[in-house]
Chain A
Amino acid sequence: MRIDFTQAVHQALAEDPASLFITGDLGYNALENLAATYGTRFLNAGVAEQNMIGVAAGIALAGHRPWVYSIAPFAVFRCLEQIRNDVCLHQLPVRLVGNGGGYTYGIMGSTHHALEDLGVLKGLPNMELFFPGTNDQVAAAVRLMRELAGPSYLRLAISGFAASNAPLSENPRTLTRHYARGTQVTVIGVGHAVQIALTALNLHGLAEAGADVFGVARFPFDLESDQALLESVRRTRSVLVLDEHYLAGSIAESLKHALPTVDRFESITASYQPTQRFGTPAFMLRQAGLTPEAVKAAALRLGAR
């Protein structure tokens, strides 16, 4: 997603002279072209995330629209109070970008995983969250963020179970995608976790479970405009949500509250295990139980009448 993002933000910077790009000293082998093209509109704020967000807020108060980039854990946690106070309370058009959501940085270790980012940000006033499901959704997320007068966060990730099926339909505002039709159970992938469901469809026969498969990519929800998803949930009355995020504060949790009441609701999410080991994103997902096989098994169980 990083390549798709740099291309999209390149265009955003070209088209909006009041925008600029700030990085927290990250972007080697990815952002050099932006730096060379945009001169003073490309700012490396150094390894100082609290100041980076405060500076971005000040720059926005002066009438500019900054994109602020780091890896997801560094872009959110160290500077959370600056995001809350300086950006969100002031309703400023600061666009945060966290690369490496979920287990993307697998072997880099726990400090580099971002499994609470959406949870801590979604309660902040005026904050809008974008978590594209696949690479081809990133540009649309960037375009939507450009339209916002207030703060937003973009979660970029690489899935351990990579898949990118053509959707049956997509809501251009919510970015909710419908991937496969089924009558027994509604399977919803949050952000790039939808790729686990797509892998289950492609390689593990998830269709046998009668799975109606969706991907969601934006919060707060606008479920009224996602009629296909609402109708699916009303019809199947069984929901399975996949979320590469700890359960507490997850989008899965928010979906449970926001969707119509159903007979069966389950989620498969990341979890912290004191004995956990480290490896590729796929290894981390397997360890957490976020696998295509687990998705199919749960879908079969939830869809059985």
Chain B
Amino acid sequence: MTLKMPSLNEFRRDALRIRKRFLRMHFEAYAGHIGTGLSDIDLLTYLYKAHLRSPGTPGGDVFILSKGHGASSLYATLNHFGLLSDENLATYYKEGTLLPAHPAPRAWDTIPAATGSLGHGLSIGAGIAFAHRVLKPSSQRVVCLLSDGDCNEGSVWEAAMFAAHHRLGNLTVVVDANGLQGFGKTTEVLNVEPLPRKWDTFGFDTIEIDGHDFEAIRDALTMTISPDRPRCIVARTIKGKGVSFMENRLEWHYKPMEREHYTQVLAELDEAERNL
């Protein structure tokens, strides 16, 4: 069964609006970490629009952002779906905010873990999944979003062993594999490829998809898998996706936008919206 076109367009429209909001936040805050947010917004859009059940509520599904440097795209996504108010979002990056560049601890029910040092999120997510599957069984699911740079950390693979060993079928790992990390291409800095084979070998039901294709994201999240195996979606993405001059450019991991950049961003996103 394929996703009907209007629904597909709906996802695209949501993602475009989140990108706009996200870029406005970064322009107004003069904040970096833009490229990483643009690479995961399509994944976040699908997760929050169609997959996660009552996230941030007792008994709801749990989302853990292991790539804590992508917090702003999560903030924008939560705001778009009514899980973070405009008033709160307006404090992003400002003095006294609870929305810093990396998530704050115990600040929001929707963001259970303060991440930012890579390699932490999957262990936390696996612990929550273990609690809901083994200690006090429930139908709650856990989704954990990692970056490919995250996968440099040895603790990620400790957590992967743990999740597979304890048959955490309620745990989904999504790797936002945009191919760029802090100081270069992932394949040149510390090659983590082949990611799909690694996750498969570690005991995950693994699928590799285009992380900007909503139909593929949907299929990956709804495919029938063993109830006793965790799932991994290696999502091939483009860092800076949606803004021509940012795509696949390392510098947009760090650089904030100047006025001329933002003007071009708006022009490109308005054009994209007209073409939807």
Please list the residues of chain A having a beta carbon within 8 angstroms of any beta carbon in chain B: 20, 40-41, 43, 45-46, 48, 50-51, 53-64, 81-82, 85-86, 89-91
Find chain B residues with CB under 8 A from A54 CB: 120, 122-124, 126-127, 155, 159
Where chain A touches its partner, the secondary structure class is helix
Ordered by A's residue number, 29 sampled pairs between the chains whose C-beta atoms are within 8 Å are A40-B135, A46-B162, A50-B158, A51-B155, A51-B158, A51-B161, A53-B123, A54-B122, A54-B123, A54-B124, A54-B159, A55-B126, A57-B123, A58-B123, A58-B126, A58-B129, A59-B127, A59-B128, A61-B113, A61-B127, A62-B127, A62-B136, A63-B131, A82-B120, A82-B123, A85-B116, A89-B105, A90-B113, A91-B105
Please list the residues of chain B having a beta carbon within 8 angstroms of any beta carbon in chain A: 105-106, 112-117, 119-120, 122-132, 134-136, 154-155, 158-159, 161-162, 165
Q: How far is the CA of A84 from the CA of B30 in the complex (A)?
A: 29
State the 10 A-B residue pairs at the shortest beta-carbon distance, nearest first.
Answer: A58-B127, A54-B123, A62-B131, A51-B158, A55-B127, A48-B158, A50-B155, A58-B124, A58-B128, A89-B105
Sample of 18 further A-B pairs with CB below 8 A, known A57-B123, A63-B136: A45-B162, A48-B155, A50-B119, A50-B154, A54-B122, A57-B124, A58-B124, A61-B112, A61-B127, A61-B128, A62-B131, A62-B132, A62-B135, A63-B131, A85-B116, A89-B105, A90-B114, A91-B106
A281 to chain B, nearest CB (A): 32
Find chain B residues with CB under 8 A from A57 CB: 113, 123-124, 127
A123 to chain B, nearest CB (A): 17
The answer to whether B131 and A64 have CB atoms under 8 Å apart is yes
Find chain A residues with CB under 8 A from B128 CB: 58-59, 61-62
The answer to whether B131 and A51 have CB atoms under 8 Å apart is no
The answer to whether B135 and A64 have CB atoms under 8 Å apart is yes
Q: How far is the CA of A223 from the CA of B113 in the complex (A)?
A: 35
- CB contact under 8 A between A55 and B162, given known A61-B127, A85-B117: yes
- CB contact under 8 A between A85 and B123, given known A45-B162, A48-B158, A55-B159: no
Who on chain B is nearest to A47 by CB?
Answer: B158
The answer to whether B126 and A51 have CB atoms under 8 Å apart is yes
The answer to whether A55 and B114 have CB atoms under 8 Å apart is no
B230 to chain A, nearest CB (A): 13
Find chain B residues with CB under 8 A from A50 CB: 119, 123, 154-155, 158
Find chain B residues with CB under 8 A from A51 CB: 123, 126, 155, 158-159, 161-162
The answer to whether A59 and B119 have CB atoms under 8 Å apart is no
Who on chain A is nearest to B125 by CB?
Answer: A58
Q: How far is the CA of A131 from the CA of B155 in the complex (A)?
A: 29
The answer to whether A86 and B106 have CB atoms under 8 Å apart is no
Find chain B residues with CB under 8 A from A82 CB: 120, 123, 155
Q: How far is the CA of A88 from the CA of B166 in the complex (A)?
A: 26
Find chain B residues with CB under 8 A from A46 CB: 158, 161-162, 165
The answer to whether B161 and A48 have CB atoms under 8 Å apart is yes
Q: How far is the CA of A260 from the CA of B127 in the complex (A)?
A: 45
Who on chain A is nearest to B154 by CB?
Answer: A50
Q: How far is the CA of A43 from the CA of B113 in the complex (A)?
A: 22
A305 to chain B, nearest CB (A): 53
Q: How far is the CA of A86 from the CA of B131 in the complex (A)?
A: 16
Q: How far is the CA of A43 from the CA of B131 in the complex (A)?
A: 11
Q: How far is the CA of A48 from the CA of B155 in the complex (A)?
A: 8
Who on chain A is nearest to B129 by CB?
Answer: A58
Q: How far is the CA of A64 from the CA of B162 in the complex (A)?
A: 18
Q: How far is the CA of A90 from the CA of B127 in the complex (A)?
A: 14
A79 to chain B, nearest CB (A): 9
Who on chain B is nearest to A90 by CB?
Answer: B105
Who on chain A is nearest to B116 by CB?
Answer: A85
Q: How far is the CA of A147 from the CA of B132 in the complex (A)?
A: 24
Find chain B residues with CB under 8 A from A45 CB: 162
User: Which of A51, A81, A89 is packed against the most chain B CB atoms within 10 Å?
Assistant: A51
Find chain B residues with CB under 8 A from A53 CB: 123
Q: How far is the CA of A57 from the CA of B113 in the complex (A)?
A: 9
